[in-house]
A = this chain, B = another copy of it.
Amino acid sequence: MSPRGLFSVRALSCARGDKTLFAGLSFQLNAGEALHVRGPNGLGKTTLLRALCGLSRPIRGDIRWRGERVSDLAEEFTAEVAYVGHLNGIQGELTVLENLQTAARVFVRGKERMADVETALARVGLVASADRPARHLSQGQKRRLALARLLILRRPLWILDEPFTALDAASVEGLSSIIGEHMSAGGLALIVSHQAFDLPGIRDFELARFCKART
């Protein structure tokens, strides 16, 4: 199914502790579009992403997916989102392959797609280490494993927090092209990254516009 997704956020404001980080944040995202969320350290980018994918509750504002409130859709919505955060979400005890297989089983609805696992592994260049326990991977290899999940989940909306951390030059290239394909397949993407990367047709989004006080 090619997602005709329309993701719209209006008047969103979030706080950490007792401090409001940003307020009145709004944007729209259509099929095949992507945002590069930018801003100095500690501005609230991670907070924003977590709020958008429903991991933390914003103070106010409404987030809509295909026109309906995310809070009403609940699981319906999470079934459409793929999130990669600062943490990799890898099981050190399981092998690289097992990690992906479990992901496929738990996160992919309906009949699973084990075929994807193979292709995903190949795509992030971890075939060689497929049977090694994930805790033996190097920092960058771990990151790649986390990103491989994106290819398996096949979710229309990608939310990525610093995806390029610890990746070597080649992998950065690879990832950007992966995102590019996702977009041209009608997928949406929200990317936070301090690191430069070239991705045709991605819009910059300065978070600073919505924050009055700086930390």
- Decide if B215 touches A42 in the complex (CB within 8 Å): no
Please indicate the chain B residues that have their CB under 8 angstroms from the CB of A172 in the complex: 194
Please indicate the chain B residues that have their CB under 8 angstroms from the CB of A144 in the complex: 41
- Decide if A167 touches B140 in the complex (CB within 8 Å): no
**A11-60, CB < 8 A from B:** 16-17, 39-43, 46
CB proximity of A11 to chain B, nearest CB, Å: 24
Given A128-B215, A129-B215, A215-B128, A138 and B168 touching (CB < 8 A)?
no
Answer whether residue A137 sits at the interface, using C-beta atoms and an 8 A cutoff: yes
Q: A167 CA to B46 CA in the complex, in Å?
A: 14
Q: A168 CA to B195 CA in the complex, in Å?
A: 8
- Max chain B C-beta neighbours (<10 A), residue from A138, A167, A171: A138
CB proximity of A143 to chain B, nearest CB, Å: 8
Q: A29 CA to B17 CA in the complex, in Å?
A: 46
- Decide if A138 touches B169 in the complex (CB within 8 Å): no
Write the A63-100 contact mask toward B (1 if CB under 8 angstroms, else 0).
00000000000000000000000100000000000000
Please classify how large the interface on chain A is, using the bins under 10, 10 to 19, 20 to 34, 35 or more.
Answer: 20 to 34
- Decide if B168 touches A194 in the complex (CB within 8 Å): yes
What are 24 pairs between A and B in contact, CB < 8 Å?
Answer: A17-B136, A40-B140, A40-B168, A40-B170, A41-B141, A41-B144, A41-B171, A42-B129, A42-B137, A42-B138, A42-B140, A43-B138, A46-B138, A128-B215, A129-B215, A139-B162, A140-B194, A141-B215, A165-B166, A166-B194, A168-B194, A169-B194, A172-B194, A195-B195
Write the A123-145 contact mask toward B (1 if CB under 8 angstroms, else 0).
00000110000001111110010
